[in-house]
Amino acid sequence: MQAEEMERKARVSAVGWARWRLGPASFHDLITRVDVETLRYGRLITRYAVRTGTWVEEPYTGGTNRPGDVRDFESLDLWSGTPEELASRTSHLSNCGRCFGSGQVTCPSCQGTLRASCSGCGGSGRRMSRARKSYRMVNCSECRGNGQKKCVRCTKGRVGCSPCRASGVMRRWLKVTTAQRTQVGIWPEDPRLRAHPGLTGGSPSALQWRGARTLETREHDGPIPPARLGPEAEAAGFLSARSSLEPRLEPLRGRVLSQTLEVFEAPSATVHYAFAGARGFIKLLGSDFRATPARDTRPFDYRFAWLLGVFFTSFIGAVFLVNAYTERHDFYRQHPSAGLVALAALGLVPGFWLMAASWLRRRRADDSKPVRRWHDRLGLGAVGLCALAILGCFVFVGPSTQALARLTASGTLDVAELHASALQARGDTSPAFVEARNAFVLARIAGMENREAVKLITFYTSTKAGTEPLEAERRRLREAWILSALSGDEDAGIERELKALADEGAPTVLVDGLRARLENKRLEQGKALLAKGEVEDALSTLLRIQAPTLAAEPPGPLLSHAYLLRAQKCPPQGLRCRAHALKLAVEADPGEAARTAFATFHSSEVSRLERMARPAGGLGPSLRALQSAEVEAGVLLSVLEGDTRLTEVRNQLLQRREALLKNRLPLGEPVEVAQALLAFSGLEEKRPGVLAVREVPPGTLVHLFVSQGVTRGVHVTAAEHGREALTREALQEVARRLTGQTFAMKDLTRTGTGVAHVPARLGAHLALLGWHDGTLVEALIGKVEP
């Protein structure tokens, strides 16, 4: 094959290889040089065998056994005989590895103790009895509840060894196995040879490249002698590479069975190319110049990274352009030009991609300028055309007053609304736009629902330029909606509409007239509810009247009457409810009925509280009555603030309470005294007869013990009882507060050991102080239940 023809075929093959990898257009122009040569290569097929040996043993059952060759296993030549001969030569006797030649081992059942777990109960001594269907646990009948019984497997704790069958002697011999393998070595170390996996196969006819030929073949049983090598093998460098092609065998374990040497040659070419500012090459083999893994594809990698980056960047830019066009207003989003902008923006993606691909193809490492091809202008043309389309849409597409007037006149109000809202958002206040806008709005609201029409007018009246006709129409719509809503239950909506009318500058006569109709409606609803006896609903309705002067009659008498009815419906214990209702009745209308009812209630409650200020009976009931009276007086004063007579009665109650508690202490008195002195919120019932005192020194627990309504004793201890000591200062403070007395210093000192309760006296009360060695643990004052 002529060199020129081989170079031409190599170029064609390289172009096809680049095409399958999405290479640049006109790749043949990017090829800088083609080197053609003939590659010599070869392979050495070595078939060899490896022997391995392992010791095997079996129980010795008698008979003759010569000592055999039992020398060091590592120094034994495994090819010195057949496997059967080696087994016979190495056979010998040895002690058993488990019983060490004794023939017996410890019994695994009893571990030599002669007592084994009972199989009937599993060693527990108990088993389920099923006699007469009474399922219960009973003692095991086999072991009599012991869980163990005499071992029957062994003799004096020993049993025969199983590996050697109780003989204590094993016969050992060397078992040799042979494994045959094949190794294929290829030289030289050239990446091009990896393209043919068949070359590394052990088959006699290995796959070769087209145009390759065999120069030499040698076969030999065992290693090929150097004398049998031909000139082609020597010329191909087999002698220098032979050591790396043959397997590494151990001298006493492996042996070469045969070797086959083959030497080949094939046409080869190296194609050099350059683009994307980098150089690369591809090596080809065979007469058809098939591509091999020996290649440098960095320019392709650079090109792929560049094109991928350009694609994503242009795609994001296209999305940005589309959003920038359509997000300005609904007019542009619904206009037909939005589709053109989207199409043109997407057209920028392949356009920029083609521009980048052309620039990369023409970029050379040596800064040379190749000839521009026709396809290099495709990307620039596509980008220019799409950019002009987008720019034209941005510049020439927009709303216009003329289009608004034309569309309104033709009745195409949906499209006209897009023009009107876009011009309104732009802030257009020209006379032509004002006229066209007012005509559009009046035409648009003709078939709309009242609320939607008001929203539409409100949007277009925000500029306050020529909006008087629209404001008048909006006022008419609001008035019509209020008049229709008065027949239903739309108070909240009517209030909003009245406020909107007032804020929009509607005439006062109109707003007051509508307000008067609303208040009269509420007044009639209140009367009807009162007639039905629905007092709370009537009050809720009447209280919503905001302009009583505009109503047909004053709502005060109706409110006063409703509050009087509420006072009558208050529960017997609802003192606050009645007082509040009567007070509101007088405030709503100070008529004779309200004032008489309030005065009667006030005088009766004051008289009742004055009687409760002079209770009769024992100390406990008197204190309870005074406490109840104080609470009721406080409730009345919270409603009737500053009432003189109620204040005087409350002071009498407090003075009477102080007189009853004078010179009294919480301990040894009725429980009501303790509650009054310590305050109701200062006591918490833990269980019947035990009250916890809340306000105590930090880290202290104090409990009052109550029996038959009288406080009998006090128990004082630390909060962390058993881990912290009770401080003497805390104990003295609790004793002073509950008994008026304190412990003597000698009672709070102890030098003994152990746990003890030492008696002490605290005025008229006996006490026990609990000690642990020299640490004060607790104090029991009076009668304390355990």
What CATH code is carried by the domain that includes residue 133? 2.10.230
Residue closest to 276 by CA, chosen among 375, 364, 379, 368: 364
- Other residues' Cβ atoms within 10 Å of the Cβ of residue 53: 17
Does the structure show a pLDDT above 70 at 649? yes
- What pLDDT sits at residue 614? 79
- What pLDDT sits at residue 344? 95
The DSSP result for 127-164, as a single string, is EEE-GGG--EEEE-TTTTTSSEEE-SS-BTTEEE-TTT
Tens of pLDDT, residue by residue over 30-73, are 898 999 998 888 889 999 999 998 888 888 877 655 544 455 66
Q: Does any domain span residue 194?
A: no
Full 3-state SS string of 3-39: HHHHHHHHHHHHHHHHHHCCCCCCHHHHEEEEEEEEE
Place of tokens 């509101």: 584
Same domain? 318 vs 370: yes
As a whole number of angstroms, the distance between CA 590 and CA 601 comes to 15
- What pLDDT sits at residue 134? 54
What 3-state DSSP class applies to 390?
helix
Same domain? 328 vs 435: no
Q: Confidence class of residue 351 from pLDDT cuts 50, 70 and 90?
A: very high
Does the structure show a pLDDT above 90 at 652? no
Same domain? 669 vs 772: yes
Does the structure show a pLDDT above 70 at 155? yes
Residue closest to 569 by CA, chosen among 561, 579, 578, 580: 578
Same domain? 409 vs 368: no
As a whole number of angstroms, the distance between CA 681 and CA 693 comes to 9
Q: Does any domain span residue 153?
A: yes
First-to-final CA distance of the chain:
121
Domain final position from 347, 373, 396? 396
Average pLDDT across the chain, whole number: 86
* Omega cis (within 30) before 188: yes
- What pLDDT sits at residue 131? 57
Does the structure show a pLDDT above 90 at 282? yes
User: Is 78:253 a contact under the CB 8 Å cutoff?
Assistant: yes
Q: Does any domain span residue 156?
A: yes
Residue closest to 468 by CA, chosen among 437, 509, 499, 495: 437
Residue closest to 640 by CA, chosen among 606, 666, 615: 606
> Once rounded to an integer, what is the mean pLDDT over residues 8-29?
88
Same domain? 412 vs 500: yes
Same domain? 405 vs 449: yes
Q: Does any domain span residue 529?
A: no
As a whole number of angstroms, the distance between CA 163 and CA 101 comes to 11
- What pLDDT sits at residue 69? 47
Q: For strand 775-782 and strand 765-772, is the pairing parallel, antiparallel, or unpaired?
A: antiparallel
Same domain? 674 vs 602: no
Q: Confidence class of residue 419 from pLDDT cuts 50, 70 and 90?
A: very high
- What pLDDT sits at residue 695? 87
> Once rounded to an integer, what is the mean pLDDT over residues 433-441?
91
Those residues whose C-beta lies under 8 Å from the C-beta of residue 630, and which sit 6 or more positions away, are 650, 653, 654, 657
- What pLDDT sits at residue 204? 60
As a whole number of angstroms, the distance between CA 634 and CA 595 comes to 22
Same domain? 627 vs 686: no
- Tally of domains in the chain: 5
The tally of CA atoms less than 13 A away on the side-chain side of residue 202 is 10
Same domain? 575 vs 641: yes
- What pLDDT sits at residue 487? 85
> Once rounded to an integer, what is the mean pLDDT over residues 253-263?
90
Helix segments in 533-643, DSSP class H:
535-542, 556-569, 575-588, 592-612, 619-639
φ/ψ (deg, to 5) at 391: -60, -40
The two three-digit tokens of residue 360, written as one number: 């990369």
Surface-to-core class of residue 661, CB atoms within 10 Å of its CB (0-12 exposed, 13-18 middle, 19+ buried) = middle
Residue closest to 49 by CA, chosen among 175, 176, 195: 176
Q: Does any domain span residue 233?
A: no
DSSP β-bridge partners for residue 60 = none
Q: Confidence class of residue 29 from pLDDT cuts 50, 70 and 90?
A: confident
- What pLDDT sits at residue 399? 92
Does the structure show a pLDDT above 90 at 489? no
Same domain? 645 vs 698: no
Type of residue numbered 325: Y
Domain holding 734, by residue range, is 665-782
Q: Does any domain span residue 539?
A: no
Domain final position from 376, 396, 416? 396
As a whole number of angstroms, the distance between CA 508 and CA 475 comes to 13
Place of tokens 């989003």: 333
Higher pLDDT, 437 or 97: 437
Q: Does any domain span residue 498?
A: yes
User: Is 515:497 a contact under the CB 8 Å cutoff?
Assistant: no
- What pLDDT sits at residue 677? 81
- What's CA 76's distance to the chain center, in Å? 68
Instruction: For Cα atoms 31, 32, 35, give the angle at the middle one, nearest 5 degrees.
Output: 95
Q: Confidence class of residue 658 from pLDDT cuts 50, 70 and 90?
A: confident
Those residues whose C-beta lies under 8 Å from the C-beta of residue 326, and which sit 6 or more positions away, are 332, 333, 338, 341
Q: Does any domain span residue 53?
A: no
Residue closest to 269 by CA, chosen among 213, 209, 315: 209
Surface-to-core class of residue 191, CB atoms within 10 Å of its CB (0-12 exposed, 13-18 middle, 19+ buried) = exposed
The DSSP result for 91-114, as a single string, is -EEEE-TTTTTSSEEE-TTTTTSS
- What pLDDT sits at residue 474? 92
As a whole number of angstroms, the distance between CA 552 and CA 557 comes to 13
Q: Kindly state the DSSP code that residue 124 receives in the 8-state scheme.
A: S
As a whole number of angstroms, the distance between CA 204 and CA 4 comes to 35
Residues in the chain: 786
Tens of pLDDT, residue by residue over 678-719, are 876 678 888 888 888 888 888 899 999 998 888 889 999 988
- What pLDDT sits at residue 65? 57
φ/ψ (deg, to 5) at 761: -130, 140
Same domain? 374 vs 438: no
Q: Kindly state the DSSP code that residue 724 receives in the 8-state scheme.
A: B
Strand order in the sheet with 690-693: 683-687, 690-693, 700-707, 710-718, 775-782, 765-772, 755-762
Domain final position from 662, 693, 727? 662
Same domain? 756 vs 683: yes
- Other residues' Cβ atoms within 10 Å of the Cβ of residue 172: 16
As a whole number of angstroms, the distance between CA 132 and CA 308 comes to 89
